[in-house]
């Protein structure tokens, strides 16, 4: 059963997804949105696509041509599910498309969204703690993902989002 952590992103997530950690891992982050028919829609993101700016704001990079971008643009709501073994965190957010002041930094085929936390929940069971997480094989995508992440990080620094 999940319990409410308030509106602040926990330190363990800040450590993994914050500005100071440019060495991203291959852990899958789930982004839940709702389509125009009211059905849940799941997108799989990587830690290269999520940057914690502080304890209540994130910069999220989503494929511009995805259903998720359409859903988030339509209603501005989404939930990030972040694996933090032995628990899982649900970060409910309001999303707004972010247009960079420094438009010379191009992140090809990706849209940026500024996400403000609405609530953060943690799901953990002492009797049945999570012991493994869903990982993706980063071999063929790490260079592209890393390049896009570094561009997003540079943009966030230049736009003084931290």
Considering its fold, how many domains does the chain have in total? 1
Q: Tokens 């500005």 sit at which residue?
A: 19
**Residue 78: is the preceding peptide bond cis (ω within 30°)?**
no
Measured between alpha carbons, how far is 34 from 128 in angstroms, rounded to an integer?
30
What's the pLDDT at 63? 94
**Domain at 12, CATH number:** 2.30.110.10
Lowest average pLDDT, out of 78-82, 112-116, 141-145, goes to 141-145
- Region 75-83: mean pLDDT is 97
User: ∠ CA 31-161-69 to the nearest 5 degrees?
Assistant: 30
pLDDT at 100 over 90: no
pLDDT at 108 over 90: no
What's the pLDDT at 104? 66
pTM value is 0.93
Nearest residue to 88 via CA among 79, 97, 96: 79
Measured between alpha carbons, how far is 116 from 104 in angstroms, rounded to an integer?
25
- Region 79-86: mean pLDDT is 96
> Which range marks the domain in which residue 116 is found?
2-158
* pLDDT tens per residue across span 127-160: 999 999 999 999 999 999 999 999 999 999 999 9
What's the pLDDT at 102? 67
Measured between alpha carbons, how far is 100 from 61 in angstroms, rounded to an integer?
12
């Amino acid at each position: 059963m999940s319990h409410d952590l308030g509106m602040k992103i926990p330190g363990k997530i800040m450590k993994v997804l914050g500005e100071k950690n440019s060495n991203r891992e291959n852990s899958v982050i789930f982004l839940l949105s709702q389509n125009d028919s009211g059905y849940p829609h799941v997108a799989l993101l990587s830690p290269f696509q999520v940057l914690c700016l502080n304890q209540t704001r994130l910069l999220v990079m989503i494929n511009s041509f995805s259903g998720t971008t359409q859903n988030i643009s339509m209603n501005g709501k989404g939930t990030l599910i972040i694996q933090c073994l032995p628990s899982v965190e649900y970060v409910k957010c309001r999303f707004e498309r972010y247009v960079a002041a420094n438009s010379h930094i191009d992140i090809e085929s990706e849209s940026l969204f500024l996400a403000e936390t609405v609530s953060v929940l943690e799901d953990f069971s002492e009797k049945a703690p999570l012991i493994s997480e869903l990982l993706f094989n980063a071999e063929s995508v790490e260079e592209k993902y890393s390049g896009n992440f570094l561009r997003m990080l540079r943009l966030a620094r230049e736009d003084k989002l931290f």
